[in-house]
């Protein structure tokens, strides 16, 4: 069951979580995170989790949602053992509350800063995407990322223009470790990189550049279309 509770979304999960249905749970939770509610509150009070592998789905969702689109995930359960199992190793990323009421009234988690615009399905869309990428890097003092951010924004916008042929929402967001770039369009067709295309096809070459440039990237199906996103690391990690 899903409820809009003010600026937050409350999802109540029931039944048994298994390795077989964990993938579907992950996809559904990320769908609710796409529109960036103040927080995604997941009540697992009536969820049975017997498989430790399945329990890791919440850690995966919390990490993905925090990286992109920047939506905090809050877990609700009155059972201490369930809380320990679901948040093992990432309690800071995945806070637990004893009830939905506590989670819904808790202090709003820190949000990432966002710059966004709507791209029309016209030839100037890619140029506008590059302008926004440049503006985002200037605003957040990330001069070293101007080149790769422009490349990724250009390719994602071009991909939406050529294949989706719909209006597209482009978003830049900066967190503590990554610059996130995403384009949401009105086509549900999953983008394919060149290595997934038939021999001789030139389609998907742009996504090969995205794959080579981004720290990570992916595609998420959403209501009425999809979101293609990519992340660039804002800090150099120490060796080792």
Q: Are residues 82 and 133 in the same domain?
A: no
Nearest to 215 by CA among 197, 195, 196, 235: 235
Cα 63-161-137 angle, rounded to 5 deg: 50
Residue 151 or 64, more confident: 151
- Tokens matching residue 124: 């100037």
Confidence of residue 191 (pLDDT cuts 50, 70, 90): confident
Query: What CA–CA distance (Å, rounded) separates 198 from 179?
Result: 33
Q: Which one of 55, 78, 105 terminates a domain?
A: 105
User: What is the average pLDDT score of the chain?
Assistant: 86
Residue 239 lies in a domain: no
Tell whether 134 and 187 lie within a shared domain.
Answer: yes
Among 70-84, 135-149, 215-229, name the most confident range: 135-149
pLDDT value, residue 222: 85
Is 79 found in the same domain as 120? no
CATH number for the domain including 25?
3.30.750.24
Q: Transcribe 48-60 into DSSP letters.
A: EE--HHHHHHHHH
Are the C-beta atoms of residues 180 and 165 closer than 8 Å to each other? no
3-state secondary structure of 87: helix
Number of domains in the chain: 2
Dist CA 32 CA 45 (whole Å): 19
Is the pLDDT score of 240 beyond 50? no
Same domain, 79 and 157: no
- Is residue 42 within 8 Å of 74, Cβ to Cβ? yes
CA 181 to chain centroid, in Å, comes to: 10
Write down the pLDDT at residue 196: 53
Task: Indicate if 28 and 46 belong to the same structural domain.
Answer: yes
The predicted pLDDT at position 164 comes to: 86
In this prediction, residue 169 has a pLDDT band, given cuts at 50, 70 and 90, of very high
Structural domain that includes position 88: 2-105
pLDDT in tens, 26-41: 988 988 888 778 889 9
State what percent of residues in the chain have pLDDT above 90. Answer: 48
State the Cα–Cα distance between residues 65 and 42, nearest whole angstrom: 13
> Nearest CA to 100 among 16, 44, 62?
44
One domain, residues 172 and 194: yes
Please say if the pLDDT value at position 205 is more than 80.
no
């Amino acid at each position: 069951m899903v409820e809009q509770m003010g600026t937050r979304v409350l999802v109540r999960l029931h039944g048994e979580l298994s390795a077989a249905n964990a993938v579907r749970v992950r996809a559904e939770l990320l769908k609710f995170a796409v529109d960036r509610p103040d927080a995604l509150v997941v009540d697992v009070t009536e969820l049975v989790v017997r498989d430790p592998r399945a329990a890791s789905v919440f850690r995966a969702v919390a990490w993905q949602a925090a990286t992109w689109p920047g939506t905090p995930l809050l877990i609700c359960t009155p059972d201490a053992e369930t809380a320990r199992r679901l948040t093992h190793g990432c309690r800071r990323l995945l806070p637990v509350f004893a009830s939905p009421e506590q989670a819904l009234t808790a202090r709003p988690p820190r949000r990432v800063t966002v710059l966004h615009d709507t791209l029309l399905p016209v030839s100037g869309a890619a140029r506008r995407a590059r302008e926004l990428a440049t503006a985002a890097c200037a605003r957040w003092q990330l001069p070293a990322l101007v080149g790769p951010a422009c490349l990724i924004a250009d390719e994602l916008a071009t991909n939406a223009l050529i294949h989706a042929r719909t209006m597209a929402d482009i978003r830049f967001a900066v967190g503590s470790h990554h610059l996130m770039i995403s384009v949401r369009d009105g086509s549900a067709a999953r983008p394919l990189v060149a290595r997934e295309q038939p021999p001789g096809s030139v389609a998907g070459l742009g996504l090969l550049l995205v794959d080579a440039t981004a720290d990570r990237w992916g595609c998420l199906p959403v209501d009425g279309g999809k979101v293609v996103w990519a992340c660039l690391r804002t800090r150099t990690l120490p060796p080792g």
